[in-house]
Chains A and B, each alone.
Chain A
């Protein structure tokens, strides 16, 4: 579904991605693991058009995605839940969700709103509330719900567990798995490698801008290097 080849991205003179290649197949959850600064967020931002690659290919469903503006990438069926959630603090929960469906004119918006409320009943309770007053967990739910309102075929998730209590992390990851089972393909960036490998089908390990390792979630979970570097052994 998504294929990235030899991707090079720079911040000014800093060479952040040095030839990254990866693939996400329809229906999968693929985890992208790595330390701070390895290039995980950069990879997602380049897919969603917030950054432009200097070299390399991104193809989504056989069509190139490299250099497409962020607001047009949404039309191609990709939604990005950015690092730090980036919900609109001054807008209400409902307005945030409306913005998620900004480009849609079809009549699937209402059913999708119901779907989001089924996945995150808390959001329905808070629908008229200003988003900046939500708790951290609720904000993460809103960020994911907002992305789902675009009815994406591919969902990019950047650190959904960041700053959340362990019980909330469990809950969010269960919901991510549910979203995937309902048919949305997911590319998941996580520092919490244990949680990510629990729900992912496959994974990649990114180290300073290059893919160091790839395999099924089970293989990665048993790999001695991965266990030492990312699973705290």
Chain B
């Protein structure tokens, strides 16, 4: 086996894994924050994520046909697209909660879950219907901006593109802002209070429904940002693209400890790295017996092992109050 070759590609593999991991982390936040306040898995979140990607591509295509894509400075374009995707996904998440989950708040737990799956199908096909009427297209390609594809060569075997840097910087910035919001502001403290005890929170004067809406807004916006970044990084989306990344992000949230915000970030990064490592090394290490297509099997096997030994997830520690 060619050890220098194996080690030589490692930095590149880690970089790819990190990018994928940040994407999962951003999506996983939506699952984990909603679970934190409602103990409910929002299975429509994968579609809330992909709606962000579609709003992003529509805006980019609109700018392109207006001739503005190359006329405007590219960081401004990216910020515009990110904000639009975040706003659309955030508002959509709040609306879905209002229409499909809140009326079922006191129903048995399976009922809102089924409602979420229904919303997921509804959104997939609504996007498909809209795009087939509007563009007569199923797959949409993100318009490229030349600057995003510029690559910097770090070493002979490692290079990094501008769009990869954009994904990392944007994801880090959003995770940082979210961390400050949740841990350093009064409204963030209120979110954590509602997550722990809704009745006690309402006795403090906290409007619980408003905090729940806010949680969906933030989680949805993070998902929308991930959608735009996903489109920028991988280029091709269709109405069903959200499902697999959504499922993996949900897994990442469980891996980190569902309901735990730093856990979702960590779980996303771990899953992304595992997947990238498996994709590059499985085939090399097994002499081709297991190809890169086994990456998910490898990543999920590791997850199963981790969850056997830490069923609450990596950071899912429960602090029990004394009676």
What is the interface of chain A, defined by CB distance below 8 A to chain B?
A: 48-50, 69-72, 74-75, 79-80, 82, 84, 86-91, 95, 98-100, 102-103, 130-136, 139, 146, 150, 163
Contact = CB atoms under 8 A, between A and B. Distances in A.
Q: How large is the interface on B (under 10, 10 to 19, 20 to 34, 35 or more residues)?
A: 20 to 34
B217 interface: no
- Report, nearest first, the 4 A-B pairs whose CB atoms are least far apart: A74-B205, A89-B321, A103-B205, A86-B200
B196 A99 contact: no
Given A71-B208, A74-B203, A74-B204, A89 B319 contact: yes
A132 B319 contact: yes
A232 to B, nearest CB: 24
A136 B323 contact: yes
Contact of B206 (A102, A131, A146, A163): A102
Given A88-B197, A95-B189, A98-B189, A150 B204 contact: yes
A135 B322 contact: yes
Interface string B168-211: 00000000000000000010011011001101111111111000
B205 A91 contact: no
A130 B318 CA distance: 13
A99 B193 CA distance: 8
B194 to A, nearest CB: 10
B323 A99 contact: no
B322 A139 contact: yes
A223 B201 CA distance: 40
B319 A99 contact: no
A225 to B, nearest CB: 32
26 contacts: A70-B199, A71-B204, A71-B205, A71-B206, A71-B207, A72-B205, A84-B323, A86-B200, A88-B193, A89-B319, A90-B192, A90-B196, A91-B196, A95-B189, A95-B192, A99-B190, A99-B193, A100-B204, A102-B205, A130-B319, A132-B321, A133-B319, A136-B322, A136-B323, A139-B321, A146-B204
B135 interface: no
Given A71-B208, A130-B319, A132-B322, A89 B201 contact: no
A176 B207 CA distance: 28
A95 B188 CA distance: 10
A102 B192 CA distance: 13
B320 interface: yes
A113 to B, nearest CB: 14
Contacts of A69: 202, 207
B202 A71 contact: yes
A150 B202 CA distance: 13
B322 A102 contact: no
Contacts of A86: 197, 199-200, 203
A72 B208 CA distance: 11
Pick the most buried of B190, B200, B323: most chain A CB atoms within 10 A of its CB: B200
Contacts of A163: 323
B203 A82 contact: yes
Nearest to A80: B203
A80 B206 CA distance: 13
Pick the most buried of B190, B197, B202: most chain A CB atoms within 10 A of its CB: B202
A88 B206 contact: no
Contacts of B319: 89-90, 130, 132-133
Nearest to B201: A99
A221 to B, nearest CB: 30
A226 to B, nearest CB: 29
